[in-house]
Amino acid sequence: MARAMTAFIAIAVATTTVTACADESATGSQVTLLTHDSFELPESVLDAFRQDTGLTLKIVKSGDAGQLASTVSLTPGAPKGDAVYGIDNTFASRPIEAGALEPYASPAAAAGAADYAVPGASDQLTAIDRGDVCLNIDNAWFEQRSLTAPTSFRDLTRPEYAAQTVLMDPSTSSPGTAFMLTTVGALGNGWQDYWKQVIGGGATVVSGWEIAYNQLFSAGEGRGDKPIVLSYASSPAATPGTSALLDSCFPQVEYVGILKGTRNSTGARKLVDFMLSPTVQKELPSSMYVYPVQRDTPLPEGWPARAEVPAWMASLPPATIADNREMWLDQWRAAAGR
């Protein structure tokens, strides 16, 4: 989801081999968490996990959520870690259908996370956070050039906006999938023509959020040259001078799950419980600019006003997404000329 800025200490990417991860997990002193490239939490949170459980948390990053889901789904029973975080509602069916997850229902989920459970698979994945995927606009960029910014996702069919836009490939990116689903839900039979016009107008498509927002977006860390980017409704809370197009949004939930074949099932269960604890939940808005799922979790002062919740969003049932996603992806590739 819209991710942490440099104010927080980044968790280092693990560089040991898969075999080493499994051996260390087998000792019971370490839990290895597979996650996406945008995962961030303060070092103090890792320390708290170590203090609470006596376990060391090792982070292994594996691309965007789509790539992460594929990695997990291709290794059922022979996982590259003990748990996985960051698979969202658009990709959840992949690891579930692949039999790649070990059932576990955390008692802590009753405090809110259970409200976002995957229907029929509530013990496979546990909700940790939620957010809304939306187009973001660098308003300052348009103002400096005395240009009018787009007011709807439909405006991207105009070449002057399409050429200023960076989007994400739905095959590899969960935000990319979410925006594709927005167009399916909002435009019906016209969604493929929309994409033909947007891509034909010069929109840039990249593999994931980190490249799009932190490298190419004009208001991102890299100060790129694209003033329109796919991100989250909450991203403007971290990036002054930007706003979200609230008619372009799709609800997203991110989950944690235990990997079937883990050598440290007990430690992985402790990690799931910990991800639902106040220690983690209260840090999510500041660290990854997403909403916590546990009820009554305090938000940073003024954060709800800066991270506006859309009044309307395109939404599709998980079963509909699971049944049609591969067909829609094929149709998207055809429309995008890929």
Q: Is the dihedral of CA 82, 86, 88, 94 positive or negative?
A: negative
Domain membership of residue 275 (yes or no) is yes
The model's pLDDT over 199-240, given as tens digits with 9 standing for 90+, comes to 999 999 999 999 999 999 999 999 999 999 999 999 999 899
Based on the fold, state whether residues 80 and 120 are members of the same structural domain: yes
Q: Are 36 and 174 within one domain? A: no
| Residue 27: predicted pLDDT | 52
222 and 114 together in one domain = no
Is residue 171 located within the same domain as residue 189? yes
Q: Residue 302, exposed/middle/buried by CB under 10 A (0-12, 13-18, 19+)?
A: exposed
Which of 19-33, 121-135, 293-307 is predicted most confidently?
Answer: 121-135
pLDDT band at 162 (very low <50, low <70, confident <90, very high): very high
Number of Cβ within 10 Å of residue 107's Cβ equals 8
Predicted structure pTM score: 0.85
Instruction: Give the separation between CA 51 and CA 45, rounded to whole angstroms.
Output: 10
**Amino acid 20: pLDDT:** 33
Please indicate whether residue 59 or residue 317 has the higher confidence score (pLDDT). Answer: 59
Do 268 and 258 contact (CB within 8 A), yes or no?
A: yes
Q: Are 97 and 238 in a shared domain?
A: no
Lowest mean pLDDT among 36-40, 127-131, 311-315: 311-315
Q: Does residue 267 sit in the same domain as residue 119?
A: yes
Rounded average pLDDT over 314-326: 85
Among candidate residues 231, 202, 201, 38, the one with its CA nearest the CA of residue 138: 231
Residue 28 placed within a domain: yes
pLDDT at 13 over 80: no
Same domain, 274 and 240: no
**Is residue 205 located within the same domain as residue 315?**
yes
C-beta of residue 304 within 8 angstroms of C-beta of residue 319: no
Q: What is the pLDDT of residue 16?
A: 32
Q: What is the mean pLDDT of residues 18-32?
A: 57
Residue 331 domain-assigned (yes or no)? yes
Does 23 score more than 60 pLDDT?
no
Give the range of the structural domain holding residue 285, as residue numbers without chain letter: 18-130+252-304
Would 10 be classed as within a structural domain? no
CATH of the domain at 224: 3.40.190.10
